[in-house]
Amino acid sequence: MKSEKYNKGMEIIKKISGKQGEQVFDAINEISPDFAEIVVEFAFGDICSRPGLDLKSREIATMAALTAMGTATRQLKLHIQAALNLGCTHGELVEIMMQMAVYAGIPAALNGLFILKEVVDDTDIRSE
């Protein structure tokens, strides 16, 4: 039986990422059930469920951080899709990447733009 924090975390994952998010955590669970539980409970059950920011704002912040890191391509793809699911437009996502050029550097922003293009191409989102 899973904890209340885990169940709350999975609800948020389903809301922002749908089936894709569940599949990611199923894959993590196959490798390390303990780690999957920690991520779901902490990142989503504790942090994302806080009332201070809406989920769209949290995804914008997450995308900016992952873009700046430059080492989290898989996670950035997932969070770009989540941002789209939560109502971010293609134009807003491009602006986030452009903003990262100032604070994370042009290479990080370019990498983010190319990852955004992959997600958009895969989901057939039209540019605004």
Looking at the fold, whether 70 and 118 belong to one and the same domain comes out as: yes
pLDDT tens profile 101-121: 999 999 999 999 999 999 999
pLDDT tens for residues 66-79?
999 999 999 999 99
74: domain CATH number is 1.20.1290.10
70 and 126 inside one domain: yes
Q: Report the distance separating Cα 120 and Cα 110, nearest Å.
A: 15
| Burial of 83: CB neighbours in 10 Å, binned 0-12, 13-18, 19+ | buried
**10/57 same-domain check:** no
CA distance 49 to 46: 6
Report the pLDDT value the prediction gives residue 126, as an integer from 0 to 100.
Answer: 52
Same domain? 67 vs 110: yes
Query: Do residues 5 and 43 both lie within one domain?
Result: yes
Same domain, 41 and 70: no
pLDDT tens, 2-53? 899 999 999 999 999 888 888 888 899 999 999 999 999 999 999 999 999 9
Cα distance between residue 112 and residue 102, in whole Å? 13
Say what the pTM is: 0.88
Q: Whole domain around residue 124: which residue ranges?
A: 53-128
116 shares a domain with 68: yes
- Structural domain tally of the chain? 2
Confidence class for position 80, pLDDT limits 50, 70, 90: very high
Do 63 and 122 reside in the same domain of the chain? yes
Of 50, 70, 89, the position where a domain reaches its end is: 50
Residues 72 and 106 in one domain: yes
Please report how the helices 55-69 and 73-85 are oriented relative to each other, as an axis angle in degrees rounded to 10: 160
Specify whether 31 is located in the same domain as 66.
Answer: no
